[in-house]
Amino acid sequence: MPRPRNARIDELIFRAGTGAFAILLIGIVLAIGAALVKESRLSIVHFGWSFWQTDVWDPVAGEFGARPFIWGTLYSSVLALLISTPIALGIAIFISELAPASMRRPLVFLTELLAAIPSIVYGLWGIFVLVPAVRQLQIATPEWLRSVPLFSGPPLGVGMLSAALILAIMVIPFSSSVAREVLKAVPQSQREGAYALGATRWEAIRMALFYARTGIVGAIMLGFGRALGETMAVTMVIGNNPQISASLYAPQYTMAAVLANEFAEATNDLYLHALVEIGMVLFIMTLIINVISRMFIWSMGRQTRPRRVLAHAPARSAA
């Protein structure tokens, strides 16, 4: 390499060179939004708001109502969170507050493994192991319970309950790892203070949880965002029937699942645009959830942030 020309020009090239890739990354995110709007315009113009207020999804007849999909997505995600939240918090507390140091690493590895298993493998397992088990459970439902809307319907196995269970399994590692990080950010003095006042172990942990509450909420919401967009495993066990039902036993449908099943086969433009519109709304929903949850988590991490910036401040001023 020749002697550096002007250092300032060199710096400029470096900044522009790496900056171009950074802009490209930002551009991709913007392009996703733009492409989704562009490819769903026919449906947006044609149906307007009624798209989200209609229950009939009949591509052959050209009728497109997406309300069952929104319902299925929200219902399955909320159910999954109800199951996964206590477990995820329990794991986070156990690993960060209770477990001996030697157990931490293996436990973290195992929960990470839970997150690393591909969605399609969960789906396969869901079809052949979970769904039959759920069917047995449904058959064993006592008669008086079946009159409750929550448990009505034939014992099919596939349906909302299977989807919620598999989603819960998949969401647990996400929520628990973020909650663990958040708990790590709680100053040790908080716990010591609680102990000094005579708190029991749980009372000290409760103090830490209270201190970390915004971050914990963020962790749970991050899991919610994951659940909304989860596709393969849900598609394989939820039954794929566009209907709005409160029953846990009823086969239903989600936004991601209808995309997975019907997108490649969309025969006309309006059908395709209707599907892309579902994708667009899914994108917006996850975007909002993610931004809010990240704000929560970030506001927790701020206490530890200045140290990191300071450590690199000299480097920046030197350059």
201, 268, 299, 304: which one contacts other proteins (CB under 8 A)? Answer: 201
Which region, judged by CB under 8 A, interacts with other proteins, from 60-68, 121-129, 137-145, 182-190?
A: 121-129
Work out whether 179 is an interface residue with other proteins (CB under 8 A).
Answer: no
44, 137, 156, 287: which one contacts other proteins (CB under 8 A)? Answer: 287
Pair of tokens at residue 291:
């931004």
Cβ 210 to other proteins, closest distance in Å? 14
- With contacts defined by CB under 8 A, how many residues of the chain interact with other proteins? 97
Work out whether 238 is an interface residue with other proteins (CB under 8 A).
Answer: no
Break the chain down into helix, strand, coil percent, rounded to 5. 80, 0, 20
**Contact yes or no for 188/262 (Cβ under 8 A):** no
44, 107, 156, 217: which one contacts other proteins (CB under 8 A)? Answer: 107
In whole angstroms, what is the distance from residue 148 CA to residue 245 CA? Answer: 12
44, 217, 260, 292: which one contacts other proteins (CB under 8 A)? Answer: 260
- Based on the number of CB atoms within 10 Å of its own CB, is 40 exposed (0-12), middle (13-18) or buried (19 or more)? buried
Nearer to other proteins, 139 or 291 (CB): 291
Rounded to whole angstroms, what are the CA distances from 319 to 11, 76, 80? 10, 52, 49
35, 139, 196, 246: which one contacts other proteins (CB under 8 A)? Answer: 35
Work out whether 263 is an interface residue with other proteins (CB under 8 A).
Answer: yes
- 61-90: contacts with other proteins (CB under 8 A): 86-90
Q: Is the dihedral of CA 217, 223, 229, 234 positive or negative?
A: negative
Work out whether 279 is an interface residue with other proteins (CB under 8 A).
Answer: yes
Nearer to other proteins, 25 or 45 (CB): 25
- Based on the number of CB atoms within 10 Å of its own CB, is 296 exposed (0-12), middle (13-18) or buried (19 or more)? buried
Pair of tokens at residue 205:
């942990």
In whole angstroms, what is the distance from residue 198 CA to residue 53 CA? Answer: 56
Work out whether 177 is an interface residue with other proteins (CB under 8 A).
Answer: no
Work out whether 25 is an interface residue with other proteins (CB under 8 A).
Answer: yes
